[in-house]
Structure 1
Amino acid sequence: MTDTSSDKSASSGRGGASRSLFSQLELDLRLLGMIGAFLLICVLFNILTGGQFLTPRNLFNLTIQTVSVAIMATGMVFIIVTRHIDLAVGSLLATCSAIMAMTQTSWAIDLLGIPLGSPALAWVAIVVGIAAGAIIGAFQGWLVGYLTIPAFIVTLGGLLVWRNVAWYLTSGQTIGPLNETFQLFGGINGTLGATWSWIAGLVASVAAVLALVSARRAKKRHDFPVKPMWAEFAVGAIFVVAIMGFIAILNSYQIPERVLERQFAAEGLEVPAGYTASYGLPISVLLLIAVAVVMTVVARKTRFGRYVFATGGNPDAAELSGINTRLLTVKVFALMGALVAIAALVASSRLTFHSNDIGTLDELRVIAAAVIGGTALAGGIGTIYGAILGALIMQSLQSGMAMVGVDAPLQNIVVGSVLVAAVLIDIIYRRRVGG
């Protein structure tokens, strides 16, 4: 079978019509376009900010600021793929944040007797928050799936309802500071440090290479064409360089001396002369990577994922084939709710407190990230990695404009324009490729 696939690859390159470099590498041109757009944004803002945009410090901050929207964007892919929409994610994030904040500062202490400041408080709050998000999401899915209320109306109502539920849960007050263990998921308050970051990078690099090897073997096993070996090595090298380069950038952001002094003083010590330390990989980014891997596996390798994309491609045919599309809708919205709660964990822990305006306009950012990432509003098409890259592009635009001094109204004008342009480009692209 190996010889057959190799012959196919060789024969496709004969007769002066040899396969292009991109076709041999089997790279997604749309993905390359998004990466190119991201790099262009970075270079442009780096010039406009006098070299400040591409500093390790700013790239570190850009990364942790992207996480909460990116996590929700992975769930929004499933929502849009099934031809629905969720306008309530920003408000639901506020409710989940309020529930987790109240659980660790009041409810769990009163009901369970857990001491204030105990790490157990954080874990109880996280479990309660994710459960609440999943239940609320499932309820919205039930209204859409079983009562056949359009998702636009259900979630538009949720946008108003859950924002104000959060207000009542906290009596309109800011709740904080949050538990120290809880704050580890916020970014700068929870990082791996240089050594463990390098280890994590090596593990991720090995996993990426093994995934490529596994995919190649699966293609051979089913007698599908495979890439030339040089192309496999090239793609593997790209992955490894990207991963280790990302770790190198994060490790080059050093902890300020005054912060080190506070950390050592808390233990009754002094900072040794010449001592330096790096922040390294944030735990929140590890959480995003875990979510991305799980959601990708769910989308590609599970019956649930296949049902999601089949329903989005043709709902009538999916129902006739025996798929319970109503229950599927409930599951998709429940999954979205759970992911919103995880995003609330990241967002509130990054702030170190819960505030009433947390998650404001996140619904627009999440939808924009999914659409920019290639999720078709007509349903049936979307990728998890595309949504995450879309979230990174959105955050880069906003961060860059803020650093340049663009005021908030103009920032929103630019983001709205980019969203419309992304949809237009998507329409033109799919017409050209026949999608």
Structure 2
Amino acid sequence: MRLTKRTFIASLMATTVAAFAMAGPAHAEKKYGPGASDTEIRIGNFVPYSGPVSAYGVVGKTMDAYFRMINDQGGVNGRKIKFISYDDAYSPPKAVEQARKLIESDEVLALFGTLGTPSNTAIMKYVNAKKVPHLFLSSGGTRFGADPKAHPWTLPFNPSYESEGRVYANLIKEKYPNAKIAVLVQNDDYGKDIYKGVKDGLGDKVSMIVAEAPYDLSDATVDSQMVKLKASGADLFLNLATPKFAAQSTRKLGELNWRPVHILNNVASQVGAVLVPAGLENAQGAITATFIKDASDPTLANDAEVKQFKEFMAKYMPDGDINNSLYAIGYAMADAMTHVLRQAGDNLTRENVMKQALSLDGFAPRMVYNGLTMKTSETDHFPLEELQIMVFKGDRWVAEGGVISAVTETKKK
């Protein structure tokens, strides 16, 4: 058949259109892993809504509220986030059960913000074997970022507890070189981790520790431990307790009329949840290190992120306590997770979500202290490595000095 010029052009155009039609979908192809679709992204979580550290339950509730806010704003790249959060009661066996349910039954795209050193330790090997992103753990357990080759799918959020412990040790050596130190420490992975940082930081000055009193989560109180520590003659009290026991021990300082220098670890520094029940008068002069802004700090009243956070709390968590920094931590973590999902675009496979989480460079989650940013890579699984020293005065924490580095010894090597 002979082609005229007109039919040739028409044929060529038809062929070109067909080629574009075939190439277009391939070019814009969407990729989905478990838990992702055109309309939804399923994210899994567990926190202790019950049990001895149920005060941390507000972290999960805040995450849920944050994702509701994101969904009200249209979701992430047009997809709504379905946040599935279970109670593990701070029990490692329960955590394993909940992680299996989330991955094998709920088929979530990723685990996010799972809380607690013991619980995350219990699931880490399983989650990495399943190649599921295990992102922004609500724990500063050093092990979670220390060996990226063995645990390539695990990424913590908090600066490591070991680093925090070294910060306190360096502070003691610099400001209180002749102190006699008494230590209250939780007898679990968390307590051992931060206490190791303290001892490593003290180095040949570890003999400054004159008394230590461990306690178990099953203990009703730490009154007897506090009596023992005071009797040691120590003049510096290193409080490595979780919220319930930190409140008890701080209150006991007043009852015993014991006035040592008081260093309180970050996980128990909440004003509303810990220091108010303990009696603010008993917390005066306490020292801690933090990476989260205090929304109740009047010096941050005009901070844009603090204003946004207060608006969020008023709308989505009206019964929440602005004085409790756990709300701000949950908010910051959810902001980081949302950023990673946005960066993943339409490639919502587990592999790409993990790739995005390990490609952070200069991202600052909302409500993280000004000047702190996240940086990660395949060989760097510690996103945040700086802390701000704070002193408790009146009814709030006050920043003292600048932001200080908390780079881990593991990373230096």
Normalising by structure 1, we get a TM-score of 0.24
Query: RCO (CA 8 Å, sep 6+): is it higher in 1 or 2?
Result: 1
- Could you say which structure has the higher helix fraction? 1
Report the TM-score when normalising by structure 2: 0.25
